[in-house]
Structure 1
Amino acid sequence: MSFNEMKSGDRVREPYKDVLRWIESTDPAVLLQKHREAETLFRQIGITFAVYGEGGDTERLIPFDIMPRIFTANEWSKLERGIKQRARALNAFLWDVYHRGEIVRSGRIPAKLVYQNDAYERAVVGISPSHKVFSHVVGVDMVRTGPDEFYVLEDNCRTPSGVSYMLENREIMMRLFPALFRSNRIMPVDNYPSLLRKTLKSVAPPKCEQEPTVVVLTPGSANSAYFEHSFLADQMGVELVEGRDLFVKGDFVYMRTTRGPRRVDVIYRRIDDSFIDPLCFRPESMLGVPGLMNAYRAGGVQICSAPGAGVADDKAVYTYVPEMIRFYLGEEPLLNNVRTWRCSEPDDLNYVLANLPELVVKEVHGSGGYGMLVGPAASKKEIEAYRLRILADPDDFIAQPTLALSTTPTYVDQELAPRHVDLRPYCLVGEKIELCPGGLTRVALKQGSLVVNSSQGGGVKDTWVLSN
């Protein structure tokens, strides 16, 4: 039985009482009108997402749910402490494995899992970014299973996407339901761009002698997340650039402008590691900046997040994060991982193969809901096909139990119905650690579905954190 975040039996939970009163006093025709207005606004703004591997138009409008998800101040306080703790430990791990590798030497995590990981970048070894921060934006994917039960599903340390949805969700809700915002004390999220800019400036390299110049580096308008790249650059008041707009001279990076070259101190990159510098990674890349890694190593520019940060995103590495917290911070984890079986280990592999119909199995490098098996929702044919994939390369898979994700009220087919949700808060790490009060709530719009990814039929909704 899934935990219903709005109701416990016939009792409405406190944070939802005001919203439910508003719903019950509102004509259903008005709700339908608001739903259609939200769709129109998303279409006008141009918020879409990419669906890969399909024919026809791969750009789709992301479904937006007009019903908010609500957390109390106490609930959020607990999450905030746990997320910040996790972000500190992940950055300590990244610093360590690109320097002395003490956690590996101590036997707390297998060397193979780190140093033979596809996301581990040897070109980064020995580089010392400002404040020892490798991951400047940490997206922690979480689920709820009870009143006080929260679990971390995975960590995103490279370039966690979706923050533009979080901001636009709030903007649209405030335009459509001003009365609800007047009657509830909801913590703002619209200061996220200024917090991000502040974080990026705080990690400017030591060789920066004046007010740091920050840019957002995008692969270009053909990229599926280009809307977010341009949105964040605009909101921060910084330049959106492509690789061809930058060049390296000596130890520094410069931006081409109509007034001549301008030195760049901090690059918020939204390009994958392998494309960022053709002299260091893929030589055929036309997206990156030749010589960028040399300038980075020399301390002339800061790259956020650092190349190589993706080793902390690996779903097998994820299983060791509680041990990282104990090892680096000397603390017990405030947030729990989901029980996870590593198919690279014989006993775990045997258990997974014997229980595939009950488990969720994921590729360790997978994302976006692709390449995974949801055992209870899969056919026998799909399960057997996946079994062969696991047997072909066990190291490439982990498995987790099928959790009873919490549900929130969702506007579906012109009525409210419970649907499963997850949460991605965004933690900014620089000179200080800041957590935006809210995050991106993704919702599985299909009845009974546990897959919330937009690419797999999910939608998004606004996330409210009440100030008291």
Structure 2
Amino acid sequence: MAIDWQQYRCEDFYDELFGGPGLPRPAARRLAEYLDDLSNAELAERRLAAELAIKVMGISFTVYSEGKNVDRAWPFDVIPRVIPRSEWEKTEAGLKQRAAALNLFIQDIYNDQKIVKDKIFPAELLHESVNFRPQCVGMKPKHDIWAHICGSDLVRDKDGTLYVLEDNLRVPSGVSYMVENRLVMKRVFPELFENTTILPVDDYPAQLYDMLVAMSPRPLDQPNIVLLTPGIYNSAYFEHAWLAQQMGIELVEGSDLFVADDDCTYMRTIYGSKRVDVIYRRIDDLFLDPEVFREDSVLGCKGLMRSWLKGRLGLANAPGAGVADDKVVYAFVPKMIKYYLGEDAILPNVPSWLCMYPKDRSHVLANLDKVVVKPANESGGYGMLIGPRSAPEEREKFRALIEANPRNYMAQPTLSLSTAPTLMNDETVEPRHLDLRPFILSRGDSTYVTTGGLTRVAMTRGSLVVNSSQGGGAKDTWVVDVDAEAVAQPLLPQSQSQSQGPR
């Protein structure tokens, strides 16, 4: 047998699959028993099958390195993350609550600003926000939804508490890999899907399409929807093409569109121009419309903002939604939930210190070797300081950055991120840290949350950075039904298991 779970050392952190060596959590027991019965050769064969499937299916991502774009096969681990359905139902409710409050906040910020007038949200924080778009003031999108698609990152600490680490409201990515991970697992371990109740994830493209249809300014059964991509050199181009293909919509670049004198948006086709009703845009605000934002942008289309502001075009996510996609604004989300919904947050934030406040700043500067420092608007794990793993010169660099622009930085304690068993190149299994990115679709009359989400895993021992651009990988995420009365039971040691024959 390739894997001896009795030797799996997971005591130092909360492990998603095991409560201790040889002690699988109830939801993961069937998986652990199955893997326990595989030989070294069988396990190697399954891993090779996954790698070949990824190549055949063309699942890739792009890394920017030394001014070059490098396409790489998607890094994937064949041991899935397992979440019991009962736990997921609470998580799903918390994500829906959070998305509702964030959309109410954005709507308020661009209109009445009641939350500022009532001194719940600091006015100075808004004034210095790099993602606040004055051009959006007074706008009320259809259904009052601004962040139609949100990807919230979740992490679990050593005590098992699940926290929201951040919310991605501008152009959240990764959902295609969530679905493709499942397809790979079905190819590699089809028998597990026959004998385990694993909730599906493949309805996301249909849910996304229905949400985009609901945004159409015209009452059509089949509005014309397009996905606007920056082009083939973008790191997420695989996902852009995949989503367009799955939804049966056109994949376009800015040069394929134009806004006419009637303020409607049109797409150039070989049959002539065709009106566009909804754009799922995968480019940032500042590149969307050279008429309003960056004049030198060739990624967007002149007049798109005018078309949207006059209600003749749906844009997802809405321009300006990034005002809530700010790691400093993030700290106020529990207050937003209380203010707009009159409820306590179901999912807690990670405790945070805001460097804009002198007391918090003093604490952070005195503990740079112990905390994680994040800039307000970076993504992909860039621009961070992980204090316990930093060199003195790095800490001094961040000290200067914080003192020069305290509004742009916040800090959090270094969490002991949960782990899960991960297959190494020598077919041994070791714990690796991970997070989870579920995706939330808001359409006004309903909210949809993916079943689980994209589990990202730090493939390097001890690393807390899960981003694929920095050496991270991914796992399939299983939300499974498990008997509410089930309790953890130890697996038999391999010697006893072998004497009894296959289970």
The bucket for the TM-score relative to the shorter chain is over 0.9
Counterpart in 2 of 1:421?
434
Aligned equivalents of 1:40, 1:320: Cα separation in 2 = 45
1:63 Cα deviation (Å)? 1.3
Tell me the residue number matched to 2:257.
246
Q: Post-superposition shift, 1:326?
A: 0.5
How big is the shift at 1:41? 2.4
Supply the AA of the counterpart residue of 1:289.
C
How far does residue 208 in structure 1 lie from its aligned partner after superposition? 4.1
Give deviations 1:137-192, integer Å, cap 9, x for gaps. 11110101257511010000111100111011001000110011111111111110
Select which of 187, 191, 209 maps to 1:197. 209
Q: Secondary structure at the match of 1:139?
A: strand
The share of aligned pairs that are identical, in percent, is: 49
Distance 1:96 1:123 in 2: 15
Greater mean deviation of Cα atoms: 58-67 or 357-366: 58-67
Does the 8 Å contact 1:405/1:421 carry over to 2? yes
Match of 1:448 among 459, 462, 480: 462
Q: One-letter code of the match for 1:118?
A: V
Q: Secondary structure at the match of 1:233?
A: helix
Q: 1:345-366 CA deviation, whole Å, 9 max, x = no partner?
A: 1111110011111111111111
What are the ranges of 5 or more consecutive residues in structure 1 without an aligned counterpart? Answer: none
Q: Deviations over 1:428-456 (max 9, x none)?
A: 01131001102000001111111111122
Counterpart of 1:117 in structure 2 is 129
- Cα displacement string for residues 346-401 of structure 1 (whole angstroms, at most 9, x for unaligned residues): 11111001111111111111111111011111122322222222222222111000
Match of 1:436 in 2: 450
Asked if 1:87 is matched to 2:99, the reply is yes
Could you give the per-residue CA deviations for residues 220-264 of structure 1, whole angstroms, max 9, x where no partner exists? 111111110010000011111111111112131111222222211
SS of 2:382's equivalent in the other structure is coil
> Of the two, which has the highest radius of gyration?
2
Partner of 1:51, secondary structure, is strand
Does 2:69 align with 1:51? no
- Aligned 8 A contact 1:143 1:421 in 2: yes
Say if 2:25 is the partner of 1:22.
no
Aligned AA (2:424): V
What count of residue pairs does the alignment treat as equivalent? 467
Q: Is the 8 A contact 1:143 1:151 kept in 2?
A: yes
Alignment partner, residue 287 of structure 1: 299
User: Quick one: which of 18, 29, 37 aligns to 1:7?
Assistant: 18
Q: Give the TM-score, by structure 1 length.
A: 0.97
What is the one-letter code of the residue matched to 2:118? S
**Which residue of 326, 333, 340 maps to 1:321?**
333
Q: Confirm or deny that 1:217 pairs with 2:231.
A: no
Alignment counterpart, residue 476 of structure 2, candidates 450, 462, 467? 462
Unaligned runs of 5+ in 2: 1-11, 483-503
TM-score by length of 2: 0.90
| Structure 1 residue 58: Cα displacement | 3.4
1:244-323 equivalent positions in 2, closer than 5 A: 244-249=255-260, 250-323=262-335
Residue 152 of structure 1 pairs with residue 189 of structure 2:
no
| 1:398 and 2:398 aligned | no
Other-structure match for 2:174: 162
Q: Distance in 2 between matches of 1:210 and 1:448?
A: 52
Counterparts of 1:291 and 1:355 in 2: how far apart (Å)? Answer: 48
56-65 or 294-303: which moved more?
A: 56-65
2:448 aligned partner, one-letter code: E
Post-superposition CA distance 1:75-109 (Å, at most 9, x none): 10010000000000000001010101111111111
